[in-house]
Structure 1
Amino acid sequence: MDDISLYGLFCDDIRQEISGKVSLIGMYGTHMYVPVMPIKLPKLCVHFSLRFPLVHKPVDIAVTVKNGDRQIHEVKVEGYQNGESIEGAMQELNGGFDMPFLEIDEPTTLIVTASVDGVEVTGPCLAIGEDPSSKQD
């Protein structure tokens, strides 16, 4: 299955609104700068969109955040059922999760991956480093 893709972003908070909309608060681009290291982040969230062909009926879906080879967080999607099989159509699975009290000891890059029935795809990444403007001479 070469046609699986994973998109997403890192943010400070994901909120489910009364209207049913989802609000992403404090979105990050490719970098996050912190004043000092090591640091304990109160919360870091990931919102993702996983796309795959509608004809594929996945059984095993997991979204993981890694720091190098070390798994930091994993969410398994259970009981997912997509719609009617339509050749050429794509299905999008959206979700999000938070990682409270995330400890970052040194500059690093967090990477989001997804596994769909054993096929792994790589999604967004976030480089975390010390803010160069906070360094004192």
Structure 2
Amino acid sequence: MSIDENLAVSRHLSVIYADDLRQEIDGKITIIGMYQSQMLVESFPVTLPKLAVFITAVTPVAQPFGKVSLQILKDDYVLQGLDLDLANEEAVGPSTIQEGVGTREFNIATIISPLQLDGPCNLRVRWHTELGIISGRPLMIKAASNGSAQ
């Protein structure tokens, strides 16, 4: 395989956790306070006024999404769930073709407000499809060891 060959496009899920999301007049989304792999809080229990989650699900054009189920979980507890029928092309939006590879994507933004946390936990997103589950990256929430929370 040469270095310039495209890798096969597969279904995948991108998840951004942030303090807030704002829809701008020009259609852009502003992400406020994005977390990387972890969120540090001063101590538990803690109530977050809000947590924004921006999710992008991508699939090859040749393998469109049909009926899907989205879950946002705190450990094994479902915080939010949504069933969608994405068989209709307009529901997913236009396809993108880059270097001969066509994909379709579906974006969803949601706010969890308030979010009560009794102890350290992991937040994660699962996208249930007819072919199986696609998981997004988790957000680990824990107490700051030196008392300085981010």
- TM bucket normalised to smaller: 0.7 to 0.9
Say whether 1:16 aligns with 2:29: no
1:100 corresponds to 2:89: no
Q: Is the 8 A contact 2:74 2:121 kept in 1?
A: yes
Q: How many residues align?
A: 133
Residue 79 of structure 1 and its aligned partner are, at CA, apart by 5.4
How well do the aligned residues superpose, as a CA RMSD in angstroms?
Answer: 2.3
The aligned counterpart of 1:33 is 40
- Write the deviation string for residues 80-133 of structure 1: whole angstroms up to 9, x where unpaired: 63357x995211112210110111101111111111235211112111011112
State the distance in 1 between where 2:111 and 2:87 align.
20
Matched, 1:42 2:49: yes
1-side partners of 2:104 and 2:81: how far apart? 21
Residue 96 of structure 2 is aligned to residue 72 of structure 1: no
Q: TM-score, normalised by structure 2?
A: 0.78
Identical pairs, percent: 26
**Alignment check: 8 A CA contact 1:57 1:81 kept:** no
CA distance in 2, matches of 1:98, 1:118: 28
Q: Is the 8 A contact 2:64 2:104 kept in 1?
A: no
1:123 aligns with 2:130: no
Q: How far, CA to CA, are the matches of 2:58 and 2:86 in structure 1?
A: 17
Q: TM-score, normalised by structure 1?
A: 0.85
Tell me, yes or no, if the aligned pair for 1:60 and 1:118 is still in contact at 8 Å.
no
Hey, what does 1:60 align to over in structure 2?
A: 67
Partner of 2:124: 111
What is the CA–CA distance in structure 2 between the aligned matches of 1:4 and 1:57, rounded to whole Å?
A: 9
Instruction: Supply the distance in 2 between the matched residues of 1:5 and 1:79 (Cα, whole angstroms).
Output: 15
